Amino acid sequence: MTLNENPENTGLKPDLPRKPMSPEAMRVSVAPMMDWTDRHCRYFHRLMSRHALLYTEMVTTGALIHGDVPRHLRFHAEEHPVALQLGGSEPADLAHCAKLGQAWGYDEINLNCGCPSERVQRGAFGACLMAEPALVADCVKAMVDVVDVPVTVKHRIGIDRIESYEFVRDFVGTVSEAGCTTFIVHARNAWLQGLSPKQNREIPPLRPALVHRLKHDFPSLRFAINGGIATTAQVHEHLRLLDGVMIGREAYHNPWWLAEWDAAFFGAAPSPITREDVEARMCDYMAREAAEHGTPWSNVARHMLGLRNGLPGARRWRQAWSDHRLKTKSPHEVMAIAHEPVAQAA
């Protein structure tokens, strides 16, 4: 396991060029999710899918310019392909942070134009940027001019009560002229007032037909769809019409689904890995993290609580991995305790 601790350590030999990310990587991806898709979560997900594209949590330009860059950008070489999502609205700041992302080894830089939270709005970025497509275009061009990796945009189909297709069509058209060729579209409006971020993921209706129409109207661009996708059948249906599918909450809450993805969506051989293999390897990872960075195992284990969903003893297994009274024990000891009710249930 190699952890990128500084911009020089990208997992590549200095005399070798960066290996370009395969266009196939965007076929299925795990969405950027605040407080969830940190490097521990991405390492866990990568154990189950070798090919899915993984995204960081949104990292604001302010956090990188004024904060602890290694804390925000370090990741494990095993996470590739992995994309950095940035939040910001100042072209110069975004260009600076995109260069940092490329230097640290990320395979893609993504601009967040979809988050509706009030905190993000106060920073004048996220979904509210959809009202300023020319500014987004300036931001994209600033990043495209300074990095060699793809610059992509994640956005909604509309904001507030603006539900016309022309709104999102014109947004894509303007931004694409600045050099963005890949758009990830959450197929709901973002209501900037009156709804919480959670409600914004549930209340505005899904309208996937608008995303399909974008692909029809911009055939040279690449589109992935996000929002409400929870089954293999749904993924295949969208892949008939689009270039990619991005999955959020379902991937997080039911992570074992990822073990099917390489065979189902990328044409790879079925993986022989078992849930027990994944858990054991995560225990090894937790032990290394504790030794190298002082990371409590609970910071890592919280991401894998859905691993045994639907199996006998799953509830008590989750309770063991959530029990902070066990925090002084090693991860492997906790795993043994967690499997006592599993063995009893069997």
Q: In the chain, where do the E strands start and end?
A: 28-30, 53-60, 82-87, 108-113, 151-159, 182-190, 222-226, 244-247
Pairing of strands 182-190, 53-60: unpaired
- Residue numbers annotated as active site: 115
- Going by C-alpha positions, the residue among 99, 105, 104 that lies closest to residue 81 is 105
For residue 121, how far is the Cα from the chain centroid? 21
266 — phi, psi (to 5°)?
Answer: -120, 5
What region does 322 belong to: left with phi over 0, alpha with psi -120 to 50, or beta?
Answer: alpha
For residue 231, how far is the Cα from the chain centroid? 18
Q: How far apart are CA 31 and CA 54, in angstroms?
A: 7
DSSP for 65-132 reads HHS-HHHHH--BGGG-SEEEEEE---HHHHHHHHHHHHHTT-SEEEEEE----HHHHHTT-GGGGGG-
- What are the beta bridge partners of residue 29? 53, 246
Token pair of 207 as six digits: 């309208």
| Residues 252, 31 contacting (CB under 8 angstroms) | no
| Residues 104, 4 contacting (CB under 8 angstroms) | yes
Amino acid at 224: A
In this structure, the number of other CB atoms found within 10 A of the CB of residue 164 comes to: 11
What region does 14 belong to: left with phi over 0, alpha with psi -120 to 50, or beta?
Answer: alpha
